[in-house]
Amino acid sequence: MDNVKDIFGTDGIRGPVGPGGINTDLVLKVGLAFGKMLGERYSHPGVLVGKDTRVSSDALEASLIAGLLSAGVDVSCAGILPTPGIAYLTKSMHFSAGIIVSASHNHFSDNGLKFFDDSGNKLSEIFEKKVIKHLGSSSNLATKGIYGKQTSLTDATGRYVEFCKASSPDGFSLSGMKIILDAANGAAFKSLGLVFSELGANIIEIASCPNGININDGVGCVHPTNLSEAVLQHTADLGLSLDGDGDRLIISDRYGRIFNGDELLYVIAKSKVQKKGVGEIRGVVGTLMSNLGLEKAIISIGLEFRRSKVGDRYIAELLRETGWRIGGESSGHIIYLDAHSTGDGIISAIQVLSAILDSGIELDGLLQDFEKIPQVLINVPIAKSNNWRDNSTFLAAQQMVANELGDNGRLLVRPSGTEPLLRIMVEAQTEADAKEKADFLAKTLD
């Protein structure tokens, strides 16, 4: 990464592994800069560090730890653990911060860092700027010869598994249910099976044998066909699929139908309203990408609906601002603040399963009042040098499409915060119309 000012995206630091991207030299400097920042806030800072299953994670973790130790920060190593596990243990064990080496749902050739503060919340932009400030000054990266100590947290997985199980309501049991579990060959490959087997389910695990390069490779929540096929093959009751770091969730029902984050968020919100009442739940936070159908469905059950920027950090920030408890995005990040401070695929699955068991109604039945608006999302590869915001042809095309949609659809164009892509999302009355408009906009960028 040539410019440290651009190092942070919507969810930490992420990019291709190698020269000019995410490499051991950069991560060492980030660790040192982050440690220096912590030293300004704490007299004796300690950081919990975890990682996913990518082949590059071991080397990057070692560099990160070296940087932190060189800044005088004590480091406890959790090993391979889902991102929400790092968030939970950071808060519950009173660490100054938590960091996981992961690139989430990306290909194994990418990697990155996600950061949590001492409350288990994603690092705010204010603190990101402080890290960048230290990175931009070589004098600030000079060590003082005071080093931290490194230890291992050997029971990290067990602690996280018990935490997830404790998020289930009293009397919750999955006895008699056959469930397919897709861990994306990622960080949840141990935790996912342990949680649901100990909750009584008959589990069949797929994509739970990481080899360093198969994380998210045709598996996990960004490749739902794999889950659907397994559910049908094994005549399972349903299937759960996470991404590479365990903070996203999608679900397949017994018929192989896939339900995304918008649909699962509605199921959870509706269940909580039925249990606690509209007055206590009050509202739900989605994002700019949330389907218009979700907004209408949430309003129809008496709740307010607000949209944040894309990214679970921004969802959590808006939840704290409003005092609401439930939010999420279509990609499968779902936050239920009564259970966790951040998106957690396992805990989200428990909340959905609880709604199914409480109602005695299958997933499609719980969604009969939720009418998804046809939505098409196109990801257009785009170089940083492409000044699409000032492209008059593209701007005129956007205006034309927006005028044609009127109040019967939505148009959203935004750059990805994690990949070199421009995302073009169109919602319209028919999928064909949405696709035609999205394709038209993409072609104007050629």
In-domain check, residue 42: yes
In-domain check, residue 379: yes
CATH of the domain at 422: 3.30.310.50
Q: pTM higher than 0.85 for the full model? A: yes
251 & 118 share domain: no
124 & 27 share domain: yes
248 & 269 share domain: no
CA distance 8 to 422: 17
Domain boundary among 259, 287, 320: 259
> Catalytic: 392?
no
Average pLDDT over residues 408-424: 87
Asked whether 30 and 123 are in contact (CB, 8 A), the reply is no
**Which domain does 84 fall in, by range?**
4-154
247 & 275 share domain: no
281 & 254 share domain: no
Best CA proximity match to 98, nearest among 110, 109, 88: 88
CA distance 100 to 89: 12
CA distance 77 to 62: 10
125 & 247 share domain: no
Residues 6+ apart with CB under 8 A from 164: 191, 195, 344, 346, 347, 350
Q: Is the pLDDT of residue 350 over 60?
A: yes
Catalytic residue among 96, 104, 191, 241: 104
Q: What percent of the chain has pLDDT over 70?
A: 97
In-domain check, residue 161: no
Model confidence pLDDT, tens digit, residues 364-393:
999 999 999 999 999 998 876 667 888 889
8 & 148 share domain: yes
Domain boundary among 332, 366, 400: 366
Model confidence pLDDT, tens digit, residues 262-297:
999 999 999 999 999 999 999 999 999 999 999 999
69 & 97 share domain: yes
17 & 146 share domain: yes
18 & 150 share domain: yes
In-domain check, residue 239: yes
In-domain check, residue 164: no
Q: Residue 227: is it exposed, middle or buried by C-beta count within 10 angstroms (0-12/13-18/19+)?
A: buried
Domain total in the chain: 4
Model confidence pLDDT, tens digit, residues 50-83:
999 999 999 999 999 999 999 999 999 999 999 9
Model confidence pLDDT, tens digit, residues 91-108:
999 999 999 999 999 999
CA distance 269 to 265: 6
In-domain check, residue 160: no
In-domain check, residue 159: no
Least confident of 277-281, 314-318, 335-339, 408-412: 408-412
In-domain check, residue 350: no
How many residues can be counted in the chain?
446
Q: Is the pLDDT of residue 5 over 70?
A: no
CATH of the domain at 103: 3.40.120.10
Work out the end-to-end distance of the chain between its first and last CA atoms, rounded to an integer number of angstroms: 26
DSSP type of residue 374: P
Model confidence pLDDT, tens digit, residues 213-239:
999 999 999 999 999 999 999 999 999
249 & 268 share domain: no
Domain boundary among 204, 225, 259: 259
266 & 254 share domain: no
